Amino acid sequence: MIRAVAFDLMDTLLADPFRDALWAATGLTLDQLAERRPPHVHPAFERGELTEQEYWAAFAHAGIEVDPAAFHRVRRDGTTWLAGMAELLDDLAGQVVRVTATNYPVWVEELVERHLDGRVEQVVSSHQLGVRKPDAGFYAGLLDAVELPACQVLFVDDRPVNVAGAQAVGLRAHRFTDVRAVRSWLADHGVLDRGST
């Protein structure tokens, strides 16, 4: 019996404006930033190893001028529900524990307030766990948080590597493409009525 469904957050539940926000803050594309910013900085921030102030300081140390206010303005304005996903979470209310399982820094707390409040019962993020998907430790932390075995939890993510990581620890996992496909997959696992897909 499925008792929880864990959804990735960005580009699965919500549109991710991160690239646009970085452009607004730096005038650089993500590829250009990757050439100049130390590669460990963003993963470390997502694991909670850096504060936001330290994160932006790493840009300055790399010679990148950054406007955090512009970043957050574009990030907030561009974070919207993907088509049908809010309604899907609403339809799952009372049937399963709704979880978001995300590689996301401390900004996830704001997203909970603005978008997720009342639509998920639990938030599991890399900055809380100190480990990122697809590391097996992330999925172990997810299962600890929901206090369920892998056989009772479904996992949905837009990134194939994260889906593969979930499957490697025994979770049944689906690569997100659109809400219709997710609904059909959930119905296949007895979570939704076939008529609601």
Domains and CATH numbers, the chain: 4-15+80-196 (3.40.50.1000), 18-78 (no CATH)
**% of the chain with per-residue pLDDT over 90:** 92
Q: Is the pLDDT of residue 133 over 70?
A: yes
Q: Count the neighbouring beta carbons within 10 Å of the beta carbon of residue 51.
A: 12
Q: Is the pLDDT of residue 194 over 70?
A: no
pLDDT for position 196: 58
Lowest mean pLDDT among 26-40, 112-126, 136-150: 26-40
pLDDT for position 37: 87
**Residue 140, token pair as written in the block:** 């172990």
Distance (Å, rounded) from C-alpha 74 to C-alpha 66? 13
- Please give the model's pTM, rounded to 2 decimal places: 0.94
Instruction: Calculate mean pLDDT across residues 50-72.
Output: 95
pLDDT for position 193: 78
What rounded mean pLDDT belongs to the chain?
Answer: 95
Instruction: Calculate mean pLDDT across residues 9-38.
Output: 94
Give every CB contact of residue 7 below 8 A, 6+ residues apart in sequence.
13, 85, 89, 98, 99, 100, 101, 120, 156, 157, 176
